[in-house]
């Protein structure tokens, strides 16, 4: 019989964890296996926020004829098992009650209530715990959750398209469409992967976007728009049923308005907006512009990832972003466009 390494089974945990996708947000994506004598007898993943965790689903998946093998099985899990009562009971209790002798974990859960306490609880129960198996892959899987619980704000992705000569828009207040139809589909995929989307006043007024994910299968994000003076007209696409955008504004006028104060620059306070998202359990947002809003985020410490679409169109003159200390993480060509991914240093 072939002998598999811990990494082999942890990779499978990470693979199935991704099935949870955005349905689990702001919880992390987690996968788990029960392995006895190199044979996977149970596997599960966290499928939806507020419902059973990966470990519970792994135990539940074991077939009746294999139940006697559970006591000799090793439990593999991509993230440290929780030790707290939340929407569901703690997974550490389930593991202990099933008399599991060995647990293998990819990475630690940095949630303040867990953060190594799950491991300690298992060890105190006499269970052998093996940690840090391909831990970097495990950390990437839960990056958004880790940001949410440690910084108390959503994982924030900035998206911007620029012309070949470096402008994001013309100097005139007209819709400047830069990216290709292929890249537009990619943008819709990105939208389906976040909880919410945010745009500025000019983008809402000039581009009149719908901001859904209609060109890619999956859910559409919640919509938010900056509207400092609550002046955007109600006929805009953002305010059409059924997914009506909420306005961040100085003075609330209706049920979909969220009152926000001003920062030192007399702009709506992004820190306050981030706190609002956190309190609403919104674990990730996509900021789609305009350029002023992107610049405000770049000048703050409130962003995590920049997705820059470099197009071959030329504007000759227009509006530019002031870039500072960007660290490129990846790049690839899609049709006529170049997609570049940048991470803040703290996010790397």
CA-based nearest residue to 282, from 192, 155, 193:
155
**179-202 residue pLDDT tens:** 888 898 999 999 999 999 999 999
**76-111 residue pLDDT tens:** 999 999 987 777 788 999 999 999 999 999 999 999
Give the C-alpha separation, 13 to 31, whole Å.
4
Percentage of residues in the chain having pLDDT higher than 70: 98
**123-167 residue pLDDT tens:** 999 999 999 999 999 999 999 999 999 999 999 999 999 998 888
The predicted model gives 207-235 an average pLDDT of 93
Give the C-alpha separation, 74 to 85, whole Å.
24
**12-68 residue pLDDT tens:** 999 999 999 989 999 999 999 999 999 999 999 999 999 999 999 999 999 999 999
pLDDT at residue 211 is higher than 60: yes
CB 168 within 8 A of CB 318: yes
Annotated catalytic sites, by residue? 55
Give me the sign of the Cα torsion angle 309, 314, 316, 317.
negative
pLDDT at residue 347 is higher than 70: no
- pLDDT tier at 346, thresholds 50, 70, 90: low
What is the structure's pLDDT at 318? 83
This prediction has a pTM of 0.92
CB 71 within 8 A of CB 99: yes
CB 297 within 8 A of CB 157: no
């Amino acid at each position: 019989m072939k002998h598999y390494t811990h990494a082999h089974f942890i990779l499978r945990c990470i693979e199935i964890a991704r099935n949870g996708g955005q349905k689990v947000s702001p919880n992390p994506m987690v996968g788990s296996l029960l392995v006895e004598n190199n044979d996977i007898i149970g596997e599960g993943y966290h499928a939806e926020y507020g419902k059973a965790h990966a470990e519970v689903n792994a135990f539940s998946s074991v077939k009746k004829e294999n139940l006697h093998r559970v006591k000799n099985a090793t439990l593999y899990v991509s993230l440290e098992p929780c030790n707290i009562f939340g929407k569901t009971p703690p997974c550490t209790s389930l593991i202990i009650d099933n008399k599991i002798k060995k647990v293998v974990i990819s990475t630690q859960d940095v949630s303040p209530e867990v953060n190594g306490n799950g491991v300690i609880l298992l060890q105190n129960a006499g269970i052998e715990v093996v940690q840090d198996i391909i831990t970097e892959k495990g950390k990437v899987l839960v990056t958004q959750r880790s940001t949410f619980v440690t910084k108390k704000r959503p994982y924030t992705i900035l998206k911007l398209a620029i012309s070949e000569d470096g402008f994001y828009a013309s100097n005139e207040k007209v819709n400047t469409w830069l990216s290709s139809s292929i890249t537009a589909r990619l943008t819709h995929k990105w939208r389906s992967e976040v909880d919410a989307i945010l745009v500025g006043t000019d983008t809402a007024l000039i581009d009149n976007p719908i901001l859904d994910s209609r060109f890619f299968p999956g859910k559409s994000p919640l919509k938010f728009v900056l509207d400092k003076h609550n002046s955007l007209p109600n006929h805009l696409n953002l305010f059409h049923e059924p997914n009506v955008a909420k306005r961040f504004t100085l003075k609330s006028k209706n049920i979909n308005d969220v009152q926000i104060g001003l920062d030192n620059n007399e702009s709506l306070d992004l820190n306050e907006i981030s706190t609002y998202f956190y309190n609403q359990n919104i674990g990730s947002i996509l900021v789609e512009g305009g350029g002023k809003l992107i610049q405000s985020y770049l000048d703050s410490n409130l962003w995590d990832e920049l997705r820059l679409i470099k197009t071959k169109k030329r504007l000759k003159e227009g509006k530019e972003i002031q870039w500072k200390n960007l660290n490129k993480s990846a790049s690839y060509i899609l049709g006529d466009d170049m997609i570049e991914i940048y991470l803040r240093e703290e996010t790397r």
